[in-house]
A and B are shown apart, each in its own frame.
Chain A
Amino acid sequence: MRGTVLKKVVFLSLAAVLAFTASACSNQAADTDGKVVISVGHWPTEAEAQSYATMEAAKEKFETDNPNIVIEPDNYKYEVQTFTAKAAANQLATLYKTPITETQKIIRNGWAADITDALKNRQWYQALNPSLLDWMSDENGRICAIPVDMYALGLFVNQRLFREAGLVNEDGSLKVPETYQELAECAQTIKEKTGKAGFIMPTINNGGGWHFMNIAWSFGVEFMEQQDDGSWKATFDTQEMRDALQYVYDLRWQYNALLDDTVIDQGSMGKYLETEQAAMGFLSASEACSIPQGGMPKEDVYFASMPAGPKGRFAQTGGDVQYIAADATPEQIEAALDWMEFQGLGAVMSDDALKNQEEGIKGRLELGRIIPDRVPFPIWTDGNVSEKVNALYRKYTNINVANFENYFAFEGVTIKPEYSECTQELYATLDKCIQEVLTNQNADIDGLVKNANEEFQLNYLNKLS
């Protein structure tokens, strides 16, 4: 008798544990009561009161208009340390978002659903900016991602520090650097006159490589090229690359224009700019608009085009991308796209979508961010969508729009996407070069470039299958 009780206890305990484990392993809510349930990531927490209220109101309206769809908020926001574990455990929201730098990795690992047909049916595919197509596609050209917030990098300028350093033209306008040479000279003057760093760039967590790409391209560097047999070859063991790296070296050792801190990630770079410890840096438009949130007066923010190098002006594109979980059902895919369209993130701009966009802009205003007079980068080629949203931006803009005009003009700027292969690996390789020239006055630039090119070829490009 006792043995039977024991067996039951053991069996029930194991059954309970297994049931709990099994239930925790699936996140894609099945259709319940004929309703399609989708979870939506990046949902604000209650602590973010304004954004939370906006999203909850949008959810209520959406569910009323679409009684067959249920939205389940998911607070998870992308972070490098936890994302892969969540993806492996099938715990990603039905609709989730990451920076575009992760897109190819996510597609390659099969964590995003193929939504090509659904996008074609909605005419989104046809309306998507062609320059973004490759980025959003897998090796067979199938679309697995949708860009929602794109940008090209620009040069952030602290007007107060410029004026304090006397970098002002006779007509009172700022002497904003047009070339990398001018940037170095301006940065030097600022450091000498104000004691603050003239220029800042990240150096770790691939940020150094990411920012350096812009400088290198403008010096004429091409990092890799595909061969006729499909393999890739590292191509940056060149004089142009040496010149570009020498430029970064000079910023530190000749112009003494940088911070003493040489361990800087993208986050701490933002903090240095917010607290006015540095006068210039490369930022995306949305990052530049967020700087006043950290305390810097928005009137002092000036945003310009990337400087020109010997081979022209180059600005890297980036942004945020949304995906639909790989195991989503066709109904969930449609529901997720409906939600995106309702949010104003699709190729169709309905009245509801416009209203949601407007609420989003109001929310950013309340947080103290800058609202420029237009969208930084058009995702959809349909002019109607951009024009409608730009009209909203113009209505709520809270700055002197001339301070962003130089950036938006994109005059002579070549907007360039990341490489599709081994991007993060390339940044990591370049990070090390940047660290070496910023920390070692006797850095051997020639050897560094040679080694980096060889290392990138042997460790990464040669191992592409």
Chain B
Amino acid sequence: MAKEMTRGGTRAAAAPSLWNRANKAVHRSIYGWILLIVPIFLFVMIVWLPIVKGITYSFFEMKGFVPQKFVGLQNFVDVLTDTNFLRTLWNTVQYVFWSLVIGMPLPILIAIMLNEMVHGKGLFKFVLYLPCIIPMIAVSLIWKMMYMDGPGGLLNMLLACFGVEPAKWLSNSAIVIPLITISMVWQGLGGSVILYLATLQGVNHELYEAARIDGAGFFSRMWHITFPHISGMVLLLTVRNIIGVFQIVEQPLAMTGGGPNGASMSLGLTNYFYAFKFGQFEKSVALGVISFLLMVGLTFVYYKFDKKFED
């Protein structure tokens, strides 16, 4: 607008007409704009304002939620030099890794199987989707009982039926992250299966028939027809999965409290503890900003790789 105004009278006279055009555009869809007022207001208040405030506060010393003194990058230095930071970051990466290893192929396989099913498809979809409607904390507590150490744990009771000694589950720091990840995958599986299934059902069956006539086997059909068609959905769910799992809080909070000895502590849980256990809000928002930047970086890298792969 400012650029237009500097270009002499003729161009300057065009400015009101631009305003008029905008005005007309608003009036053309007046009810749409009215309907948008509340969502925009809520979006700004609930999403953008906290993000902007959070980033701003991360440069301040805080008293409660009230910024007191500008401290530059000190909060970030405090968070990054915490002796637990690198371990917690590595734990979080492990959560993401295991969620990809366990959580990505499984729904694809199940969706392919469901897509081939003739009878009982509805029932299976219902059963698979059921865990999605259970609150996350309830799921975590159910799995905590499954994983409980000693003969009273449900998995150990199962093992006892086969004469196997009770195993250590959540108290085993070597496997605690994959175990928590399994509970997450169990809950989220149904949603992913439904999305993959919807994509698979959009694939033209004539392609499969043509491939079959050309002598393509099952795996060849999967590789050349199915996977190219669902690759977009795989990309979408992978990015969503990385972003979602990177923020994991509730599951380790409910199942292990971050233990044993910090073995299941995630960045999200550390953030929660900073804010609600220790009342160190400046460190909490600083860690939030660091996590945000890490996720932006990860997503960027992923897209780069994906583009390279597609090229």
Which applies to chain B's interface (DSSP): helix, strand, loop or mixed?
Answer: loop
In the bound complex, residues from chain A placing their C-beta under 8 Å from that of B37 are: 10, 13-14
A3 at the interface (CB under 8 A from B): yes
Q: Are A87 and B64 in contact (CB under 8 A)?
A: yes
In the bound complex, residues from chain B placing their C-beta under 8 Å from that of A2 are: 27, 30
Binary per-residue interface labels of chain A (164-187) against chain B in the complex, 1 for a CB within 8 Å, 0 otherwise? 000000000000000000000000
B105 at the interface (CB under 8 A from A): no
Q: Are A439 and B168 in contact (CB under 8 A)?
A: yes
Select the stretch in B149-157, B223-231, B293-301 that faces chain A: B149-157
Q: Are A439 and B171 in contact (CB under 8 A)?
A: yes
In the bound complex, residues from chain A placing their C-beta under 8 Å from that of B257 are: 203-205, 263, 265, 431
Chain A residue total in the interface (Cβ 8 A): 47
In the bound complex, residues from chain B placing their C-beta under 8 Å from that of A435 are: 171, 259-261
With beta carbons under 8 angstroms apart, the residue of B27, B34, B65, B170 that contacts A88 is: B65
A436 at the interface (CB under 8 A from B): yes
Least Cβ–Cβ distance between A421 and chain B, in angstroms: 12
In the bound complex, residues from chain A placing their C-beta under 8 Å from that of B151 are: 260
In the bound complex, residues from chain A placing their C-beta under 8 Å from that of B122 are: none
A25 at the interface (CB under 8 A from B): no
Closest A residue to B255 by beta carbon equals A263
A40 at the interface (CB under 8 A from B): no
With beta carbons under 8 angstroms apart, the residue of A3, A204, A205, A261 that contacts B27 is: A3
With beta carbons under 8 angstroms apart, the residue of A10, A108, A425, A436 that contacts B34 is: A10
A259 to B150, CA, bound (A): 8
Q: Are B78 and A463 in contact (CB under 8 A)?
A: yes
With beta carbons under 8 angstroms apart, the residue of A206, A424, A425, A458 that contacts B83 is: A458
Known: A110-B64, A455-B84. A262 touches B260 (CB 8 A): yes
A9 to B30, CA, bound (A): 11
Select the stretch in B89-97, B186-194, B239-247, B276-284 that faces chain A: B276-284
Least Cβ–Cβ distance between B273 and chain A, in angstroms: 7
Q: Are A261 and B150 in contact (CB under 8 A)?
A: yes
B38 at the interface (CB under 8 A from A): yes
Least Cβ–Cβ distance between A216 and chain B, in angstroms: 17
B172 at the interface (CB under 8 A from A): yes
B275 at the interface (CB under 8 A from A): yes
In the bound complex, residues from chain B placing their C-beta under 8 Å from that of A108 are: 63, 279
Least Cβ–Cβ distance between A42 and chain B, in angstroms: 19
A140 at the interface (CB under 8 A from B): no
Q: Are B261 and A432 in contact (CB under 8 A)?
A: yes
Complex interface residues of chain A between 418 and 450 (CB less than 8 A to chain B)? 424-425, 428, 431-433, 435-436, 438-440
With beta carbons under 8 angstroms apart, the residue of A13, A439, A459, A463 that contacts B173 is: A439
In the bound complex, residues from chain B placing their C-beta under 8 Å from that of A83 are: 276
Known: A259-B150, A265-B257, A431-B259. A13 touches B63 (CB 8 A): no
Least Cβ–Cβ distance between B89 and chain A, in angstroms: 15
Closest B residue to A17 by beta carbon equals B41
- 22 A-B pairs with CB atoms under 8 Å apart are A3-B27, A6-B30, A10-B37, A13-B38, A14-B37, A17-B38, A83-B276, A109-B279, A110-B63, A204-B256, A260-B148, A260-B152, A261-B149, A435-B171, A436-B260, A439-B259, A440-B173, A455-B84, A458-B82, A458-B83, A459-B82, A463-B78
Residues of B within 8 A of A (CB): 27, 30, 34, 37-38, 41, 45, 61, 63-66, 78, 81-84, 144, 148-153, 166, 168, 170-173, 255-262, 273, 275-279, 281
